[in-house]
Structure 1
Amino acid sequence: MQAATIKLFLVHGSPSGLRTAEVSNWSGKAIAAPRTEMSDLLRRDELNSPGFYLLTGVDPESGDGTIYVGEAENVSTRLKGHATKDFWNAVTVFVSKDENLTKAHIRYLEGVLIDKANTNSNSIVMNSVGSGARLPESDAAEMDVFLEKCLQLLPVLGISDFNEKLDQVSESKDLLYCKIKGFTATGKRTANGFIIFSGSQAVLEHRPSAVNSRKKREQLIVKGLLLQENDHFVFAKDIEFGSPSTAATVVRGGATNGLTAWRNSKGVSLKEQEANET
């Protein structure tokens, strides 16, 4: 991404409250708010226009994040329809300041974001089906540029579900390994937690005491991200988790301290490495 100047405005002075975000020389605008400030959000004129929105929250059973991607020709009216759903606690809306977004444009953007969420997100994607719309080549290119700015703003607004995964580095000293019963997973610390690289192995059986980790593994299996191969699982893609422990738990099928389970090629634990860096 190119360097950019981002303008944040805290409407009520709170960094987690109603706020707007813009990128210099860009026609788009983001408006974000917690669910507790929905009435103030819905009164804003920007929401009476076409746009797409993200509902984010936490799944009460697994503790994993949740995300829903939607679009509407009148965002305010559409958001009111989500009032009965309890999986979300914050909303982020994107609109165009020059009012040039059409129904086809926002459906295209929604479809791309759903695909990105299913590929990159650590959260549970609440959309039951994909979306999207076919656009003329020139329009699609224009929307890809618009989306790039949206993706630049989202982490600033607290949403990292669409961040591209790191490529596996070639230097072995940067890699960490989690081993169990002859199986090995390869990963690395990231700014958002911990990534396990494609091709890594995990045990087939859950531990009897596993509850949350079992559900997480089952979600990955349903998504086709964790595939059975003879007597073990294999990670079909790079997957980023919220912490080294969550990553190690999926590999080992039960509660695990990731700081000690992940070790470099010399056997030095992640905990020891980080202690030496401070």
Structure 2
Amino acid sequence: MSAQGRSLELFFIDGRPDGMLTAEVFNWTGHVLRARRTQLKEALQRREAGYTGVYLLFGENEGRARLYIGEAEDMRERLRNHAQNKDWWDYAVLISAAADVLHKAHVKYLESRLVEIARDVGGAELENGNQPTRSSLSEAATANMESFIDTLMMVLPAIRVDAFLNKKRSRPNAGVRSEPAQDPDEFTFAVPRHGVSATAVLKEGEMIVKAGSIVRAEWVGDRKHNTHYFKLHDDLVANGTIVRQGSTSVFSNDYAFSSVSAAAAIVAGRSANGRTSWIHKATGRSYADWEDAQLSEVPQ
């Protein structure tokens, strides 16, 4: 069954897209408030800031995202303390529920799960030293919190919080009949002189590089002007998505990229034009030519 669409309501409190905002989803009890540190006074004056909840502090360290995850029965008081004692963060996200229905056990469970997810994704430098203890909840309460987290994982990327966005894609279970071996939207990218040979599938708007694809072991391109790509390459090596094998490396998991050029750059270990580098397996066309052919089928 295909996933159902969801409706997300964003309210830009000061009328600016980069300012303070709230996020809510129809039929979801959760409430999310995002504010810059420079707007902390205004944020803490809001009613939900005094609720029991989980908060996220974001900043940067040498160009890499930095994150702290905490919980409190009064987030307003806790953030006042962090404003005095933590000078690295630039904005905060406060997560609570309507009518302040979350209690201490709920938010301790939520804090622990968010730390687990952030560590698994590896998209940010996590300031939490130890894994927070997960509170003991009933079976029903645990299911409710997992459902709460599922919706939260949709909301956070929508407000430009990507630290929990997992780009790893699961592989079919062994013994289960899979789709035909050659996907009509399968692409290859090879650089024989460097032993590079990668396969990717375009699915649901993502360029998914397949597990087992052979890529450059290290970033060999410009580190001054292509900071996003080389830092992403380093992160994928650090979190085990790219694993060293001799003079090359392989993808240990299927991994989704938001653009064909990002996928090509990580495979090549340098900047690369994904529109010309990726070759459509079924037709032998470059991605650009294949895309042109696809668009020509759209009715005038």
TM-score band w.r.t. shorter chain = 0.7 to 0.9
Gaps in structure 1 of 5+ consecutive residues: none
Match of 2:151 in 1: 149
TM-score, with structure 1 as normaliser: 0.80
Q: Who is 1:264 aligned against?
A: 280
Deviation at 1:271, TM superposition (A): 2.9
Query: C-alpha displacement at 1:12, in angstroms?
Result: 1.9
Aligned CA distance change for structure 1 residues 17 and 223 (closer, same or farther; 3 Å): same
Alignment RMSD: 3.2
Match of 1:203 among 216, 240, 265: 216
Report how far residue 243 of structure 1 moved: 3.6
Does the CA contact (< 8 Å) of 2:221 and 2:269 recur in 1? no
- What is the rounded CA distance, in whole Å, between the counterparts of 2:292 and 2:58 in structure 1? 34
Q: Aligned in 2, Cα 1:45/1:245: closer, same or farther, shift over 3 Å?
A: same
Q: Tell me which residue corresponds to 2:298.
A: none
Aligned-partner SS, 1:22: strand
Aligned equivalent of 1:13, options 4, 15, 26: 15
For 1:10 and 1:210, the matched residues in 2 are separated by 36
Could you say which residue in structure 2 is the equivalent of 1:236? 252
> Equivalent residues in 2 for 1:80-91 (5 A)?
80-83=80-83, 84-86=86-88, 88-91=89-92
Instruction: Verify the 8 A CA contact 2:265 2:272 in the aligned structure 1.
Output: yes
Q: Normalization by structure 2: what TM-score?
A: 0.75
CA contact (8 A) 1:59 1:65 kept: yes
- How high is the sequence identity, in percent, across the aligned residues? 29
Query: For residues 209 and 4 of structure 1, what CA distance do their matches in structure 2 show?
Result: 40
- The whole-number CA distance in structure 2 between the counterparts of 1:104 and 1:119 is 23
Give unmatched runs, 5+ long, in structure 2.
172-178, 296-300
Between the aligned partners of 2:12 and 2:43, the Cα distance in structure 1 is 12
- Specify the SS of the correspondent of 1:9: strand
SS at match of 2:99: coil
Deviation at 1:102, TM superposition (A): 2.5
CA deviations 1:165-204 (Å, max 9, x no partner) are: 5567755221222222333222245678643232222122
Query: Residues 4, 244 of structure 1: CA spacing in aligned structure 2 closer, same or farther, 3 A cutoff?
Result: closer
Alpha-carbon separation, structure 1, partners of 2:140 and 2:7: 26
SS of residue paired to 1:152: helix
The one-character-per-residue Cα deviations of 1:100-151 (angstroms, maximum 9, x if unpaired) are 3233321221222233334446x32424443350423222112112222322
Q: How many residues align?
A: 274
- Determine the structure 2 residue equivalent to 1:117: 118
Kept in 2, the 8 Å contact 1:210–1:254? The answer is: no
Alpha-carbon distance in 2 for matches of 1:247, 1:232: 16
